[in-house]
Structure 1
C-alpha cells in the first residue's frame, strides 16, 4: 500500500470508530507501519473524527520524527508493541466505555481479561492482559507491555482503555472493536448465569485458527 493510501485509510478507520462512539473527544491514538519501515502516527491532542492525512506524524525507520505534527504522548506504548512483536504492523488505543467499565470490576482477571463468551475475541485477540492503572503518557505503560515479552497482541489499561496490535491497520481496528463488543456483552451479562465457551471449545478454536494463546 502506498503511503498516501495508508494515510487516508488511517483517517477513514479512525473516523468510523469516532462516529460510532468507540472513542470520543481527543482521546485515542493510532499508528501504522509504512513500506519503508517507518511509522505514521496520530498527532497529540487530535480527534479521531477529524484526523488530517497530511498532518499525521511521520517517523523514519530509525524512529526519528521527520514531518507532520507532534505525535501522541503514548508513543512509548506503541513503540513497545512494535519492538516486541515482529508481526505488528499497526497499533490502536481507544477509550471505549464498556472495556473500561469491565476493567473497573473487582473480579477482573489480570491474565485473561475477557470472558470466553464468543469465538471471535479468542480468534482475533488471544488472551488479553489487564495492566494496572498508569498516568496517561507514563512511559511505564510501555515498560509493562515490554514485560509481556511479545506474548500478547492486546492489553487493557485499567481505568483507561484497550490497546491492540495487528498485522495491519485494518486488522488492529477490527480486533479492538471485537474487544469492545465482548466487554459490552460481559457487562450486559453480569449477574446473569450464562453459558460460556468450555475449555475444550477454546482449545479447538486456538488449534483450528492457530491463535497465539499464552498458557
Structure 2
C-alpha cells in the first residue's frame, strides 16, 4: 500500500488522537477542538459542533497560510484561542482544547496562585506543560479568550479556562495531546489530595523541571 501524503497522514492523526481522547472520557458529546499546522503554514481544524469520537478527516476545516479557509466544514468557534497560541508561541504545531472533568472541577475552586494554577504534585506536568495559568470565565467562542492568551506573550504552553476546560499548545499533535492528558491527570490528583497534608514537589526543584520543558520546546 502506498504511503499517504503528509497532509493526509496529519488529517488521520488528528482524528485518531481525538477519538482516543473521546473514548477515554477526556471530552464528551460535541465538546473539544483540535488543530494542527500544515507543512505550508496553514491549519487543519476540527469543525464546530463535531464530536471527537466521530471526526472525518475529509471534513476538517482547512486554512491556507494567510488565514483564509479554503475547504472543509465551518471551524470550531474557539478559533481565537487556537490562533492566539500559533501567533504568540514560536514552534506551536498543534493546539488541543478539552472539557475534561477533573480540570474543570479544580478550576471552580478558590486559588491564590492563578498564574501558577496547577499544583506541583508530580514532575511530569511541570516537564510537559511548565506553569499553567488559570484564566477567568469567558463565554464560549468569545474572542476575549484569545486576547487573554495573547496577553501572556507566549510565556505559557497551557492555560485553564475557568468553568470551561484546558487549552494546550505543543510542537506536534502527539505532544499537545500527551500534555493535556497530563494536565487532567494532575488535576485529578489535586482533587483527591485536597484538604490532606500532601507533599508537593519541592520548590527548589521546580525551576529545573520547567526548564526541561522550555529546552525541549525550543530545540
Residue 204 of structure 1 and its aligned partner are, at CA, apart by 3.1
Which region of structure 1 is more displaced relative to structure 2, 198-207 or 85-94? 198-207
Which region of structure 1 is more displaced relative to structure 2, 126-135 or 101-110? 101-110
Residue 66 of structure 1 and its aligned partner are, at CA, apart by 0.2
| DSSP-derived class of the 2:119 partner | coil
Once the two structures are superposed, residues 93-146 of structure 1 have per-residue CA deviations (whole angstroms, 9 ceiling, x without a partner) of 000000001001012621101000100000000000000000000000000000
| In structure 2, distance between residues paired with 1:206 and 1:154 | 13
Return the structure number with greater helix share: 2
Name the structure 2 match of 1:121.
Answer: 125
| In structure 2, distance between residues paired with 1:164 and 1:103 | 15
Name the structure 2 match of 1:130.
Answer: 134
Name the structure 2 match of 1:99.
Answer: 103
Q: Does 1:43 align with 2:53?
A: no
Q: Does 1:16 align with 2:20?
A: yes
Which region of structure 1 is more displaced relative to structure 2, 55-64 or 198-207? 198-207
Q: Given that residues 122 and 211 in structure 1 are in contact (C-alpha distance below 8 angstroms), is that contact kept between their aligned partners in structure 2?
A: no
Q: Does 1:88 align with 2:96?
A: no
Name the structure 1 match of 2:11.
Answer: 7
Name the structure 2 match of 1:198.
Answer: 202
Structure 1 ranges of 4+ moved more than 4 A: none
| In structure 2, distance between residues paired with 1:149 and 1:91 | 16
Q: TM-score, normalised by structure 1?
A: 0.96
What is the alpha-carbon root mean square deviation over aligned residues?
1.1
Name the structure 2 match of 1:151.
Answer: 155
| In structure 1, distance between residues paired with 2:71 and 2:207 | 46
Paired residues, number: 211
Residue 202 of structure 1 and its aligned partner are, at CA, apart by 1.3
| DSSP-derived class of the 1:69 partner | coil
Unaligned runs of 5+ in 2: none
| DSSP-derived class of the 2:116 partner | coil
1:11 to 1:210, Cα distance in 2 relative to 1, 3 A: closer
Name the structure 2 match of 1:78.
Answer: 82
| DSSP-derived class of the 2:75 partner | coil
| DSSP-derived class of the 2:36 partner | strand
| In structure 2, distance between residues paired with 1:108 and 1:96 | 22
